[in-house]
Structure 1
Amino acid sequence: MAERYSSFAPGGTAWFLQRVTAAFLIVVLAFHFFLLHFVNHAWEIEFAGTQQRMENVGYFLTMVLFLITATFHGVNGVYNALVNQGLTGTSKKVVLAILVIAGGALIAQGIWVALVMQGFM
């Protein structure tokens, strides 16, 4: 029988955060999907409506946390999948650096857009 290998150490911080972010994403994605597909149908979504939703502090914070959580979950998952496939040494460090920079850029851009939509900038 093949031995199971995972770069996540069970009970470790990365393992724990991957599961916590998954649980958070399930809840927030359900809220997001319900709000934007059942309460407001796709053809009803407009820029002004998005701005109005973003002016609500609770909605704004939820969407920013959604962005940060989804980015971390995705970057962490891709990195660990590559490590599980045998990524080691300098390549591992380079990939980690690229993913951290890309994730940071995505979060910065998303927060900037959220602030603009909220009317803060």
Structure 2
Amino acid sequence: MNTQSELTWLPESGIQLRKAGVRFDAIRVDGERGRDIADWLARMTGGDPGPIVETATGRRGVYFLVPVGSTSHRAWPAGVTRFVAGPGHVSYIPVPALNDLTWPLSWRYRPTAPDRLVHTRLLCTALHSQG
């Protein structure tokens, strides 16, 4: 695992919002479906699916951090929320620190490298096939 200093987009403590379209975009899938998809991706990638954040309250959303611009021109199934930036539109993605109390956010799968993100095509395929 890389050190905190190599993962400059992570907050040092607590939780921060990161603007979509700068370092990454995100796909949110709520509830157990999101957790199931995250675990399926981990199995398909040898335990390193890329950074995935989960919430313990409300919709219990699971945020898959994906490369900027990679969510467009794809048919996403119902129940998926895209966090992207564009003309007249800004989205913010919640990001917890690696080693701090960040409830209700936590890392389901922690980031492992500065530029390692969830593979968008694999995520889209999993969402369609795992329904």
The interval holding the TM-score normalised by the smaller chain is under 0.3
Query: What TM-score, normalized by structure 2, do the two folds share?
Result: 0.21
* Structure whose alpha-carbon radius of gyration is higher: 1
* Larger fraction in helix: 1
* Larger fraction in strand: 2
Query: What TM-score, normalized by structure 1, do the two folds share?
Result: 0.22
